[in-house]
Amino acid sequence: MIAAIRRQRWVIAALLGAVCAGAWAAKDDPDYDRLRGELNRLASDRTLGTLAPAEIALAEQALNNLVEFGGKRKLHDHYVFLADQRVKIAYAAAQAVTQERKLQALDREHDQILIAASRRDAEQARMELERQRIQSLAQQEEADRLRAEADDARTQTEQTAKQAETAKKQAAQARKLADAQAREAELARKEAALLAASGAGPAASKSTAPAAVKAVSIVLGESTFAPGQFALKPAGSAQIAKIAAAAGGKSVRIEAYANDGGSAKANATLSQQRAHAIRDALIGAGVPAKSIVVVGVGTKPGASRGAVASISDH
């Protein structure tokens, strides 16, 4: 590009030199002077002078023709007209290039504006998609939370129903146990009444000395408690009815054991809990609490996880 501009300027300079060489022939021609001044101003213009080198060269040729062939008046006007048109064309061509460059600059600016607008629109679209994605995630999380809450509520309802069913079954078992204990107590009372009736007679009435009082022991076997537990099993509850029937206002001493394989301290605690469980059952069967003494023996050789109830007058 720079080399082309240099060549154009060289051509112009050469033409100007040629013109200067023949200027002596047109030194008294005002039309030539006017056109020469206009063309010199165009060629020396830092902006326009490099934009239309071909048109400037043609204008120089027209001025040369005016110098060379315009000596006669009739031809002079013709060559003045041609040179004037060539100078005007050179100016117009240079200005056209300037306008073209301005248009190109405007086109580039317009393209940049369009590109910026497209980028802005794309960024807005991306932001909108991101907003929709975040909103969708939030909705999904809310749906998952509600689903989890519904699952928890359903699980809680199922657990509550199971607990209610279990409580219902336990209540039914408790009623059956209470009925069995009542029947057992009634049988024990009848048995005690029959024993008392069979011991009354003349021989007994003749004796005035107090009879020796013997302690009665009732064993609650290994089936009384589950391993490691102190709640009475149904078999133990039946024995409670016998003890309550035999007590009849007498003192009752309860010794409970816990040979369950734990430590001595744990077995001592468990045996004490079992003794208290028997005591509470006896109180429930009608035995006065003040007549009951409980002892947690803990581990005892030969004993299992049951208990022994000793009934005496003292």
Q: Which residues contact 283 (CB under 8 A, 6 or more apart)?
A: 289, 292
Contact yes or no for 251/291 (Cβ under 8 A): yes
pLDDT surpassing 80 at residue 71: no
pLDDT computed for residue 77 by the predictor: 86
Q: How far apart are CA 248 and CA 268, in angstroms?
A: 30
Report the alpha-carbon distance of residue 101 to residue 85 in Å, rounded: 24
pLDDT tens column, 187-227: 656 655 665 555 433 333 333 434 444 568 888 887 788 88
pTM of the model: 0.35
pLDDT-based confidence at residue 12 (cuts at 50, 70, 90): low
Q: Are 245 and 189 in contact (CB under 8 A)?
A: yes
Mean pLDDT of 249-277: 85
DSSP assignment of 208-266 equals -SPPPP--EEEEE-GGGB-TT--SBPHHHHHHHHHHHHHHTT-EEEEEEE--SSS-HHH
Query: Cα separation of 26 and 65, whole Å?
Result: 11
DSSP state of 290: G
Tens of pLDDT, residues 120-156:
988 988 999 899 998 988 899 998 898 989 788 788 8
Contact 230, 270 (CB under 8 A): yes
The single-letter code of the amino acid at 272 is Q
102 strand-pairing partners: none
Cβ pair 74, 24 in contact under 8 A: no
Checking if the pLDDT of 233 tops 60, the result is: yes
Q: Which helix (H) or strand (E) holds 252?
A: strand 251-257
Task: Provide the pLDDT for residue 208.
Answer: 42
